[in-house]
Amino acid sequence: MSRTATLGVDIGTSSSKGVLTDTATGEVLATAVVEHAVQRPREGHVEMDPQVWWDEFVHLTKELLASETQAKIIAVGVSGMGPCVALTDRAGLPVRPAILYGVDTRATAQITRLSAELGAAIAEVCGSRLTSQAAGPKVAWVREEEPAAYARASRLFMPASFLVNRLTGAYVLDHQSASQCTPLYDINEHTWREDWWELIAPGIEKPTLAWAGDIAGRITDDAASATGLPTGLPVIAGTIDAWTEAVSVDAHRDGDLMLMYGTTMFLVATGAKVIRTPSMWTTVGAFEGTHNLAGGLATSGALTAWIKDLTGSDYTTLLQEAEQSPAGSNGLLMLPYFAGERTPILDPNARGVIAGLTLTHTRGDLYRAALEATAFGVRHNIETMRMAGAKISRVVAVGGGARGGLWLQIVSDVTNLPQTIPATLVGASYGAAFLAAQAVHAAPESMSEWNPAVDLITPRAQHSRFYDDLFVQYTDLYRLTKPIVHTLVNHQTSEGASQ
Protein backbone atom coordinates (compact mmCIF):
# COMPACT_ATOMS: atom_id res chain seq x y z
CA MET A 1 0.00 0.00 0.00
CA SER A 2 1.38 3.44 -0.93
CA ARG A 3 2.07 5.92 1.83
CA THR A 4 -0.38 8.82 2.24
CA ALA A 5 0.42 12.25 3.65
CA THR A 6 -1.21 15.52 4.56
CA LEU A 7 0.17 19.00 3.97
CA GLY A 8 0.05 21.54 6.79
CA VAL A 9 0.99 25.21 6.44
CA ASP A 10 1.02 27.86 9.17
CA ILE A 11 1.41 31.62 8.64
CA GLY A 12 3.20 33.04 11.67
CA THR A 13 4.35 36.44 12.86
CA SER A 14 7.99 36.06 11.82
CA SER A 15 7.84 33.08 9.47
CA SER A 16 5.60 30.67 7.62
CA LYS A 17 6.14 26.94 8.02
CA GLY A 18 5.05 23.92 6.05
CA VAL A 19 5.15 20.20 6.78
CA LEU A 20 4.32 16.94 5.05
CA THR A 21 3.24 14.27 7.50
CA ASP A 22 2.61 10.55 7.17
CA THR A 23 -1.06 10.09 8.01
CA ALA A 24 -0.65 6.69 9.67
CA THR A 25 2.31 7.37 11.95
CA GLY A 26 2.67 11.14 12.20
CA GLU A 27 6.22 10.92 10.86
CA VAL A 28 7.41 14.25 9.50
CA LEU A 29 8.40 13.56 5.90
CA ALA A 30 9.54 17.07 4.98
CA THR A 31 9.55 20.60 6.38
CA ALA A 32 10.06 24.06 4.91
CA VAL A 33 10.28 27.55 6.36
CA VAL A 34 10.09 31.06 4.90
CA GLU A 35 11.00 34.00 7.12
CA HIS A 36 9.34 37.39 6.83
CA ALA A 37 8.91 40.63 8.75
CA VAL A 38 5.79 42.50 9.75
CA GLN A 39 5.44 46.20 9.01
CA ARG A 40 5.25 48.78 11.78
CA PRO A 41 4.32 51.99 9.92
CA ARG A 42 3.48 53.87 13.14
CA GLU A 43 3.77 53.34 16.86
CA GLY A 44 1.20 50.70 17.81
CA HIS A 45 0.49 49.68 14.20
CA VAL A 46 1.53 46.15 13.17
CA GLU A 47 0.57 45.02 9.66
CA MET A 48 1.27 42.53 6.89
CA ASP A 49 0.27 42.27 3.25
CA PRO A 50 -2.08 39.24 2.87
CA GLN A 51 -0.64 38.58 -0.57
CA VAL A 52 2.53 37.48 1.23
CA TRP A 53 0.53 34.73 2.95
CA TRP A 54 -0.51 33.27 -0.37
CA ASP A 55 2.91 33.72 -2.00
CA GLU A 56 4.55 31.92 0.92
CA PHE A 57 1.98 29.12 0.86
CA VAL A 58 2.75 28.55 -2.82
CA HIS A 59 6.52 28.65 -2.19
CA LEU A 60 6.35 26.24 0.75
CA THR A 61 4.05 23.83 -1.06
CA LYS A 62 6.28 23.64 -4.12
CA GLU A 63 9.35 23.10 -1.93
CA LEU A 64 7.65 20.33 0.02
CA LEU A 65 6.34 18.62 -3.10
CA ALA A 66 9.81 18.68 -4.62
CA SER A 67 11.40 17.17 -1.51
CA GLU A 68 8.95 14.28 -1.05
CA THR A 69 7.73 12.45 -4.13
CA GLN A 70 6.83 9.03 -2.68
CA ALA A 71 3.79 9.89 -0.57
CA LYS A 72 0.35 10.63 -1.96
CA ILE A 73 -1.08 13.87 -0.49
CA ILE A 74 -4.73 13.41 0.43
CA ALA A 75 -5.68 16.63 2.29
CA VAL A 76 -4.46 20.13 3.16
CA GLY A 77 -4.45 21.85 6.57
CA VAL A 78 -4.00 25.56 7.19
CA SER A 79 -3.32 27.72 10.22
CA GLY A 80 -2.26 31.27 10.94
CA MET A 81 -1.64 34.02 13.45
CA GLY A 82 -4.67 35.83 14.74
CA PRO A 83 -7.08 37.29 15.32
CA CYS A 84 -6.17 39.45 12.31
CA VAL A 85 -8.28 41.79 10.22
CA ALA A 86 -7.69 41.36 6.50
CA LEU A 87 -10.34 43.20 4.51
CA THR A 88 -10.69 42.38 0.83
CA ASP A 89 -13.02 43.11 -2.05
CA ARG A 90 -15.41 40.41 -3.23
CA ALA A 91 -12.70 38.96 -5.49
CA GLY A 92 -10.43 38.46 -2.47
CA LEU A 93 -8.03 41.31 -3.27
CA PRO A 94 -6.87 43.16 -0.12
CA VAL A 95 -8.00 46.77 0.21
CA ARG A 96 -5.19 47.52 2.68
CA PRO A 97 -2.57 45.60 4.70
CA ALA A 98 -3.95 43.18 7.28
CA ILE A 99 -4.06 44.46 10.86
CA LEU A 100 -2.51 41.91 13.19
CA TYR A 101 -3.65 40.57 16.54
CA GLY A 102 -3.18 42.07 20.03
CA VAL A 103 0.30 43.44 19.29
CA ASP A 104 -1.47 46.06 17.15
CA THR A 105 -2.96 48.62 19.52
CA ARG A 106 -4.30 51.23 17.09
CA ALA A 107 -8.01 50.85 17.91
CA THR A 108 -7.92 52.30 21.44
CA ALA A 109 -10.51 54.98 20.68
CA GLN A 110 -12.87 52.46 19.07
CA ILE A 111 -12.47 50.11 22.05
CA THR A 112 -13.34 52.90 24.45
CA ARG A 113 -16.36 54.08 22.47
CA LEU A 114 -17.81 50.62 21.79
CA SER A 115 -17.27 49.53 25.40
CA ALA A 116 -19.25 52.55 26.59
CA GLU A 117 -21.96 52.06 23.98
CA LEU A 118 -22.51 48.32 24.41
CA GLY A 119 -21.57 48.03 28.08
CA ALA A 120 -21.48 44.85 30.13
CA ALA A 121 -23.41 42.97 27.45
CA ILE A 122 -20.16 42.55 25.51
CA ALA A 123 -18.69 40.18 28.10
CA GLU A 124 -22.00 38.37 28.56
CA VAL A 125 -22.48 37.75 24.83
CA CYS A 126 -18.87 37.42 23.68
CA GLY A 127 -17.08 36.10 26.76
CA SER A 128 -14.49 38.87 26.89
CA ARG A 129 -14.42 42.61 27.08
CA LEU A 130 -12.89 44.63 24.28
CA THR A 131 -9.09 44.77 24.19
CA SER A 132 -6.40 45.16 21.54
CA GLN A 133 -6.85 41.43 20.85
CA ALA A 134 -10.41 41.91 19.60
CA ALA A 135 -10.91 42.09 15.83
CA GLY A 136 -14.15 44.09 15.90
CA PRO A 137 -12.71 47.47 16.92
CA LYS A 138 -10.02 47.15 14.23
CA VAL A 139 -12.71 46.77 11.57
CA ALA A 140 -14.29 49.91 13.01
CA TRP A 141 -10.91 51.67 12.87
CA VAL A 142 -10.62 51.03 9.12
CA ARG A 143 -14.17 52.25 8.54
CA GLU A 144 -13.53 55.46 10.47
CA GLU A 145 -9.90 56.23 9.64
CA GLU A 146 -9.65 54.90 6.07
CA PRO A 147 -13.16 55.25 4.60
CA ALA A 148 -11.96 54.91 0.99
CA ALA A 149 -10.39 51.52 1.73
CA TYR A 150 -13.43 50.40 3.71
CA ALA A 151 -15.75 51.38 0.86
CA ARG A 152 -13.97 48.82 -1.34
CA ALA A 153 -14.15 46.08 1.31
CA SER A 154 -16.63 43.22 1.09
CA ARG A 155 -15.06 40.38 3.06
CA LEU A 156 -13.19 39.74 6.31
CA PHE A 157 -10.35 37.21 6.48
CA MET A 158 -7.65 35.89 8.76
CA PRO A 159 -4.54 34.09 7.44
CA ALA A 160 -6.05 30.58 7.50
CA SER A 161 -9.35 31.63 5.95
CA PHE A 162 -7.53 33.73 3.35
CA LEU A 163 -5.60 30.66 2.25
CA VAL A 164 -8.80 28.60 2.19
CA ASN A 165 -10.39 31.18 -0.08
CA ARG A 166 -7.44 31.22 -2.47
CA LEU A 167 -7.31 27.43 -2.54
CA THR A 168 -11.01 26.60 -2.79
CA GLY A 169 -13.02 29.76 -3.35
CA ALA A 170 -14.90 29.16 -0.08
CA TYR A 171 -15.60 32.11 2.23
CA VAL A 172 -15.53 30.58 5.72
CA LEU A 173 -14.22 31.36 9.18
CA ASP A 174 -13.84 28.83 11.95
CA HIS A 175 -15.71 29.27 15.23
CA GLN A 176 -12.55 29.70 17.29
CA SER A 177 -11.31 32.60 15.16
CA ALA A 178 -14.82 34.06 15.05
CA SER A 179 -14.96 34.04 18.85
CA GLN A 180 -12.03 36.47 18.82
CA CYS A 181 -13.88 38.89 16.52
CA THR A 182 -15.42 40.46 19.63
CA PRO A 183 -18.09 41.83 19.67
CA LEU A 184 -19.25 40.33 16.37
CA TYR A 185 -19.71 36.72 17.59
CA ASP A 186 -22.05 35.28 20.22
CA ILE A 187 -20.02 32.74 22.21
CA ASN A 188 -23.12 31.22 23.78
CA GLU A 189 -25.06 30.64 20.55
CA HIS A 190 -22.06 30.03 18.28
CA THR A 191 -23.42 32.49 15.72
CA TRP A 192 -22.68 35.98 14.45
CA ARG A 193 -24.31 38.75 16.47
CA GLU A 194 -26.38 40.35 13.73
CA ASP A 195 -27.10 43.79 15.25
CA TRP A 196 -23.54 44.38 16.40
CA TRP A 197 -22.19 43.23 13.03
CA GLU A 198 -24.32 45.88 11.31
CA LEU A 199 -23.16 48.49 13.82
CA ILE A 200 -19.45 47.77 13.39
CA ALA A 201 -19.01 46.11 10.00
CA PRO A 202 -21.83 47.32 7.72
CA GLY A 203 -21.39 46.21 4.13
CA ILE A 204 -19.03 43.34 5.03
CA GLU A 205 -20.40 39.92 4.13
CA LYS A 206 -20.44 37.48 7.05
CA PRO A 207 -18.28 34.38 6.52
CA THR A 208 -19.92 30.98 6.81
CA LEU A 209 -18.96 29.44 10.17
CA ALA A 210 -17.25 26.05 10.45
CA TRP A 211 -15.12 24.11 12.94
CA ALA A 212 -11.37 24.02 12.47
CA GLY A 213 -11.26 20.42 11.27
CA ASP A 214 -14.24 20.67 8.91
CA ILE A 215 -13.59 20.39 5.18
CA ALA A 216 -14.15 23.91 3.84
CA GLY A 217 -13.75 23.13 0.16
CA ARG A 218 -11.55 21.51 -2.47
CA ILE A 219 -8.58 22.70 -4.51
CA THR A 220 -9.70 24.57 -7.62
CA ASP A 221 -8.06 24.30 -11.02
CA ASP A 222 -6.44 27.73 -10.59
CA ALA A 223 -5.05 26.83 -7.17
CA ALA A 224 -3.77 23.52 -8.49
CA SER A 225 -1.98 25.31 -11.31
CA ALA A 226 -0.37 27.78 -8.88
CA THR A 227 0.69 25.26 -6.20
CA GLY A 228 1.16 21.91 -7.91
CA LEU A 229 -1.44 20.29 -5.66
CA PRO A 230 -4.05 18.03 -7.28
CA THR A 231 -7.40 19.54 -8.20
CA GLY A 232 -10.18 18.40 -5.87
CA LEU A 233 -7.97 17.87 -2.80
CA PRO A 234 -9.94 18.64 0.41
CA VAL A 235 -8.89 21.66 2.50
CA ILE A 236 -9.95 22.15 6.12
CA ALA A 237 -11.19 25.46 7.56
CA GLY A 238 -8.20 25.71 9.92
CA THR A 239 -7.87 28.12 12.83
CA ILE A 240 -5.54 30.48 14.71
CA ASP A 241 -1.99 29.23 15.22
CA ALA A 242 -2.00 29.00 19.02
CA TRP A 243 -5.01 26.68 18.94
CA THR A 244 -3.47 24.60 16.16
CA GLU A 245 -0.29 24.43 18.25
CA ALA A 246 -2.39 23.01 21.08
CA VAL A 247 -3.73 20.38 18.71
CA SER A 248 -0.17 19.53 17.61
CA VAL A 249 0.79 18.49 21.15
CA ASP A 250 -2.55 17.03 22.26
CA ALA A 251 -3.11 19.88 24.72
CA HIS A 252 -6.79 20.61 24.18
CA ARG A 253 -8.40 18.44 26.85
CA ASP A 254 -10.09 19.54 30.08
CA GLY A 255 -7.36 20.74 32.46
CA ASP A 256 -4.67 21.20 29.81
CA LEU A 257 -2.65 24.39 29.46
CA MET A 258 -0.77 24.89 26.21
CA LEU A 259 2.24 27.19 26.60
CA MET A 260 3.53 28.41 23.25
CA TYR A 261 7.08 29.74 23.11
CA GLY A 262 7.38 31.97 20.06
CA THR A 263 7.81 35.58 18.98
CA THR A 264 5.16 36.20 21.59
CA MET A 265 4.19 33.87 24.43
CA PHE A 266 0.68 32.46 24.33
CA LEU A 267 -1.31 30.42 26.84
CA VAL A 268 -4.50 28.42 26.19
CA ALA A 269 -6.29 26.69 29.06
CA THR A 270 -9.02 24.25 28.03
CA GLY A 271 -12.14 23.37 29.96
CA ALA A 272 -15.60 21.93 29.45
CA LYS A 273 -17.33 25.10 30.67
CA VAL A 274 -17.09 28.78 29.82
CA ILE A 275 -14.75 30.63 32.19
CA ARG A 276 -14.75 34.42 32.24
CA THR A 277 -12.42 36.99 33.72
CA PRO A 278 -12.13 40.63 32.60
CA SER A 279 -8.37 40.55 32.08
CA MET A 280 -8.16 37.53 29.76
CA TRP A 281 -9.85 36.16 26.64
CA THR A 282 -12.70 33.69 26.79
CA THR A 283 -13.04 31.83 23.50
CA VAL A 284 -14.57 28.83 21.83
CA GLY A 285 -12.19 25.89 21.51
CA ALA A 286 -10.82 24.43 18.32
CA PHE A 287 -13.18 21.48 18.77
CA GLU A 288 -16.93 21.62 19.25
CA GLY A 289 -17.86 21.35 22.92
CA THR A 290 -14.62 22.83 24.27
CA HIS A 291 -13.96 26.26 25.75
CA ASN A 292 -10.79 28.18 26.42
CA LEU A 293 -9.40 30.88 28.64
CA ALA A 294 -6.46 32.38 26.80
CA GLY A 295 -3.76 34.93 27.39
CA GLY A 296 -0.63 36.20 25.78
CA LEU A 297 2.51 38.20 26.35
CA ALA A 298 3.22 40.85 23.71
CA THR A 299 6.89 39.83 23.59
CA SER A 300 8.97 36.78 24.41
CA GLY A 301 11.08 35.59 21.49
CA ALA A 302 10.86 39.15 20.16
CA LEU A 303 12.52 40.34 23.36
CA THR A 304 15.37 37.84 23.26
CA ALA A 305 15.87 38.65 19.56
CA TRP A 306 16.14 42.34 20.48
CA ILE A 307 18.91 41.57 22.98
CA LYS A 308 20.69 39.38 20.44
CA ASP A 309 20.63 42.12 17.83
CA LEU A 310 21.51 44.85 20.33
CA THR A 311 24.57 42.98 21.59
CA GLY A 312 25.65 41.67 18.19
CA SER A 313 25.81 38.16 19.65
CA ASP A 314 24.08 34.87 18.85
CA TYR A 315 21.61 32.74 20.80
CA THR A 316 24.07 29.96 21.59
CA THR A 317 26.54 32.37 23.18
CA LEU A 318 23.85 34.28 25.05
CA LEU A 319 22.37 31.10 26.48
CA GLN A 320 25.79 29.88 27.60
CA GLU A 321 26.45 33.19 29.33
CA ALA A 322 22.95 33.29 30.85
CA GLU A 323 23.53 29.85 32.35
CA GLN A 324 26.49 31.33 34.25
CA SER A 325 24.24 34.02 35.74
CA PRO A 326 22.45 32.95 38.95
CA ALA A 327 18.70 33.00 39.59
CA GLY A 328 17.76 36.65 39.85
CA SER A 329 20.34 37.64 37.20
CA ASN A 330 22.75 39.13 39.73
CA GLY A 331 20.15 41.58 40.98
CA LEU A 332 18.36 42.48 37.75
CA LEU A 333 14.59 42.54 37.39
CA MET A 334 12.94 43.20 34.03
CA LEU A 335 9.41 43.96 32.90
CA PRO A 336 8.99 42.41 29.42
CA TYR A 337 6.51 45.02 28.20
CA PHE A 338 8.66 46.27 25.32
CA ALA A 339 5.64 46.30 22.96
CA GLY A 340 2.98 47.12 25.52
CA GLU A 341 1.37 44.14 27.22
CA ARG A 342 -1.61 41.98 26.58
CA THR A 343 -2.87 39.83 29.43
CA PRO A 344 -3.41 40.11 32.29
CA ILE A 345 -2.62 43.83 32.58
CA LEU A 346 -4.13 44.80 29.19
CA ASP A 347 -1.96 47.89 28.95
CA PRO A 348 -0.89 48.96 25.44
CA ASN A 349 1.08 51.80 27.02
CA ALA A 350 3.17 49.56 29.25
CA ARG A 351 6.86 49.57 28.39
CA GLY A 352 9.96 47.61 29.23
CA VAL A 353 11.72 48.38 32.50
CA ILE A 354 15.11 47.05 33.67
CA ALA A 355 15.72 47.63 37.37
CA GLY A 356 19.00 47.15 39.23
CA LEU A 357 21.52 47.77 36.42
CA THR A 358 25.13 48.42 37.34
CA LEU A 359 28.35 48.77 35.38
CA THR A 360 29.28 45.22 36.34
CA HIS A 361 26.29 43.51 34.75
CA THR A 362 26.96 41.42 31.67
CA ARG A 363 24.93 40.59 28.60
CA GLY A 364 24.46 37.13 30.11
CA ASP A 365 22.77 38.76 33.12
CA LEU A 366 20.61 40.82 30.79
CA TYR A 367 19.62 37.79 28.73
CA ARG A 368 18.75 35.74 31.81
CA ALA A 369 16.71 38.67 33.15
CA ALA A 370 14.71 38.63 29.90
CA LEU A 371 14.04 34.91 30.25
CA GLU A 372 12.97 35.42 33.87
CA ALA A 373 10.77 38.37 32.85
CA THR A 374 8.80 36.26 30.38
CA ALA A 375 8.51 33.52 33.00
CA PHE A 376 7.06 36.01 35.48
CA GLY A 377 4.62 37.11 32.77
CA VAL A 378 3.57 33.48 32.31
CA ARG A 379 3.07 33.07 36.06
CA HIS A 380 1.00 36.27 36.19
CA ASN A 381 -1.31 34.80 33.53
CA ILE A 382 -1.54 31.40 35.19
CA GLU A 383 -2.43 32.90 38.57
CA THR A 384 -5.12 34.99 36.89
CA MET A 385 -6.53 31.92 35.13
CA ARG A 386 -6.69 29.97 38.37
CA MET A 387 -8.39 32.82 40.20
CA ALA A 388 -11.04 32.77 37.45
CA GLY A 389 -11.68 29.07 38.09
CA ALA A 390 -9.54 27.42 35.42
CA LYS A 391 -8.29 23.98 36.33
CA ILE A 392 -4.67 23.53 35.24
CA SER A 393 -3.55 19.94 35.73
CA ARG A 394 -1.09 19.58 32.85
CA VAL A 395 1.19 22.09 31.09
CA VAL A 396 2.45 21.25 27.61
CA ALA A 397 5.22 23.32 26.01
CA VAL A 398 5.33 23.92 22.26
CA GLY A 399 6.99 26.28 19.78
CA GLY A 400 10.54 27.07 18.81
CA GLY A 401 11.50 28.24 22.29
CA ALA A 402 10.45 24.89 23.78
CA ARG A 403 13.71 23.45 22.44
CA GLY A 404 15.77 25.57 24.82
CA GLY A 405 16.48 23.90 28.16
CA LEU A 406 17.32 27.00 30.21
CA TRP A 407 14.19 28.93 29.26
CA LEU A 408 11.93 25.98 29.98
CA GLN A 409 13.63 25.35 33.32
CA ILE A 410 13.26 28.98 34.37
CA VAL A 411 9.54 28.95 33.50
CA SER A 412 8.99 25.75 35.52
CA ASP A 413 10.97 27.20 38.45
CA VAL A 414 9.01 30.49 38.39
CA THR A 415 5.57 28.89 37.99
CA ASN A 416 6.37 25.83 40.15
CA LEU A 417 4.75 23.69 37.47
CA PRO A 418 6.18 20.78 35.46
CA GLN A 419 6.06 21.04 31.66
CA THR A 420 5.49 18.12 29.33
CA ILE A 421 7.65 18.13 26.19
CA PRO A 422 6.32 16.25 23.15
CA ALA A 423 8.47 14.40 20.64
CA THR A 424 7.64 16.72 17.74
CA LEU A 425 7.84 20.48 18.14
CA VAL A 426 7.15 21.48 14.55
CA GLY A 427 4.18 23.48 15.79
CA ALA A 428 0.97 24.70 14.22
CA SER A 429 1.69 23.37 10.73
CA TYR A 430 1.92 19.88 12.27
CA GLY A 431 -1.39 20.37 14.06
CA ALA A 432 -2.97 21.55 10.80
CA ALA A 433 -1.69 18.42 9.06
CA PHE A 434 -3.28 16.28 11.80
CA LEU A 435 -6.64 18.04 11.51
CA ALA A 436 -6.53 17.52 7.75
CA ALA A 437 -5.77 13.83 8.22
CA GLN A 438 -8.65 13.47 10.67
CA ALA A 439 -11.00 15.24 8.26
CA VAL A 440 -10.48 12.50 5.69
CA HIS A 441 -10.47 9.74 8.34
CA ALA A 442 -6.79 8.90 7.81
CA ALA A 443 -5.38 9.75 11.26
CA PRO A 444 -5.68 8.06 14.66
CA GLU A 445 -8.27 9.38 17.08
CA SER A 446 -5.68 10.95 19.42
CA MET A 447 -2.74 13.17 18.55
CA SER A 448 -0.77 11.37 21.28
CA GLU A 449 -0.42 8.46 18.84
CA TRP A 450 1.30 10.82 16.40
CA ASN A 451 3.18 12.87 18.95
CA PRO A 452 3.83 11.24 22.37
CA ALA A 453 5.44 13.01 25.31
CA VAL A 454 9.18 12.38 25.64
CA ASP A 455 10.36 14.64 28.46
CA LEU A 456 9.20 16.40 31.61
CA ILE A 457 10.75 19.61 32.97
CA THR A 458 10.24 19.73 36.74
CA PRO A 459 10.62 22.78 39.01
CA ARG A 460 13.54 23.01 41.40
CA ALA A 461 12.24 23.72 44.91
CA GLN A 462 15.06 26.06 45.99
CA HIS A 463 14.72 28.19 42.86
CA SER A 464 10.92 28.23 43.12
CA ARG A 465 11.06 29.63 46.66
CA PHE A 466 13.47 32.35 45.54
CA TYR A 467 11.26 33.25 42.57
CA ASP A 468 8.15 33.40 44.80
CA ASP A 469 9.69 36.43 46.52
CA LEU A 470 10.96 37.96 43.29
CA PHE A 471 7.52 37.64 41.66
CA VAL A 472 6.10 39.99 44.29
CA GLN A 473 8.77 42.50 43.32
CA TYR A 474 7.89 41.96 39.65
CA THR A 475 4.23 42.91 40.13
CA ASP A 476 5.23 45.81 42.40
CA LEU A 477 7.65 47.09 39.76
CA TYR A 478 4.85 47.46 37.22
CA ARG A 479 2.52 49.11 39.70
CA LEU A 480 5.13 51.60 40.87
CA THR A 481 6.55 52.51 37.47
CA LYS A 482 3.27 52.62 35.55
CA PRO A 483 2.62 56.38 36.04
CA ILE A 484 6.16 57.24 34.95
CA VAL A 485 6.08 54.96 31.93
CA HIS A 486 2.71 56.27 30.76
CA THR A 487 4.08 59.82 30.95
CA LEU A 488 7.07 58.75 28.86
CA VAL A 489 4.74 57.20 26.28
CA ASN A 490 2.98 60.54 25.96
CA HIS A 491 6.36 62.14 25.33
CA GLN A 492 7.10 59.58 22.62
CA THR A 493 3.90 60.35 20.76
CA SER A 494 3.77 64.11 21.30
CA GLU A 495 4.62 66.55 18.55
CA GLY A 496 7.22 68.25 20.71
CA ALA A 497 9.21 65.04 21.15
CA SER A 498 9.55 64.62 17.40
CA GLN A 499 10.90 68.11 16.76
Q: Give the 3-state DSSP-derived string for the chain, with helices as H, strands as E and coil as C.
A: CCCEEEEEEEECCCEEEEEEEECCCCCEEEEEEEECCCECCCCCCCEECHHHHHHHHHHHHHHHHHHCCCCEEEEEEEEECCCCEEEECCCCCECCCEECCCCCCCCHHHHHHHHHHHCCHHHHHHCCCCCCCCCHHHHHHHHHHCHHHHHHCCEEECHHHHHHHHHHCCCEEEHHHHCCCCCCEECCCCEECHHHHHHHCCCCECCEEECCCCEEEECCHHHHHHHCCCCCCEEECCEEHHHHHHHHCCCCCCCEEEEEECCCEEEEEEECCCCCCCCCEEEECCCCCCEEEEEEECCCHHHHHHHHHHHCCCHHHHHHHHHHCCCCCCCCEEECCECEECCCCCECCCCCEEECCCCCCCHHHHHHHHHHHHHHHHHHHHHHHHHCCCCCCEEEEECHHHHCHHHHHHHHHHHCCCEEEECCCCCHHHHHHHHHHHHCCCCCCCHHHCCCEEEEECCCHHHHHHHHHHHHHHHHHHHHHHHHHHHHHHHHHCCHHHC
Looking at 242, 277, 303, the residue that finishes a domain is 242
How far is 244 from 247, CA to CA, in rounded Å?
A: 5
CA distance 478 to 340: 12
Whether 446 is covered by a domain: the verdict is no
For residue 436, being part of any structural domain is answered with: no
Is residue 194 domain-shared with residue 235, that is, in the same domain? yes
Q: What is the pTM of this model?
A: 0.86
Residues 117 and 238 in one domain: yes
Choose the final residue of a domain: 242, 268, 301.
242
Q: Is 432 inside a domain boundary? A: no
Do 209 and 258 fall within a single domain?
Answer: no
Query: Letter for the amino acid at 128?
Result: S
CATH of the domain at 276: 3.30.420.40
Q: What is the pLDDT of residue 275?
A: 87
Same domain? 267 vs 161:
no
Q: Let me know whether 213 and 292 are in one domain.
A: no
Domain count, the chain: 2
* pLDDT reported for residue 493: 59
Same domain, 229 and 286: no
Whether residue 385 is contained in a domain is answered as: yes
Say how far apart CA 9 and CA 394 lie, in whole Å: 27
Cβ contacts of residue 285 below 8 Å, gap of 6+? 176, 243, 252, 270, 291, 292
Q: Find, among 101, 92, 43, 177, the residue nearest to 498 by Cα.
A: 43
Determine, yes or no, domain membership for 435.
Answer: no
Rounded to a whole number, what is the largest CA-CA distance in the chain?
A: 72
**15 within a domain of the structure (yes/no):** yes
Q: At a CB cut-off of 8 Å and minimum separation 6, what does 113 contact?
A: none
Last-in-domain residue among 218, 242, 266: 242
- Look up the domain containing 391 and give its range: 250-424+460-499
pLDDT value of residue 494: 54
Each residue's pLDDT expressed in tens, for the chain with a length of 499 residues: 579 999 999 999 989 999 999 999 999 999 999 999 999 999 889 999 999 999 999 999 999 999 977 899 999 999 999 999 999 999 999 999 999 998 899 999 999 999 999 999 999 999 889 999 999 999 999 999 999 999 999 999 999 999 999 999 999 999 999 999 999 999 999 999 999 999 999 999 999 999 999 999 999 999 999 999 999 999 999 999 989 999 999 999 899 999 989 888 999 999 888 888 989 999 999 999 889 999 999 999 999 999 999 999 999 999 999 999 999 999 999 999 999 999 999 998 999 999 999 999 999 999 999 999 999 999 999 999 999 999 999 999 988 788 778 999 999 999 999 999 999 989 899 999 999 999 999 998 899 999 999 999 999 999 999 999 999 999 999 999 999 999 999 887 554 444 4
Query: Do the strands 215-218 and 234-236 form a parallel or antiparallel pair, or are they unpaired?
Result: antiparallel
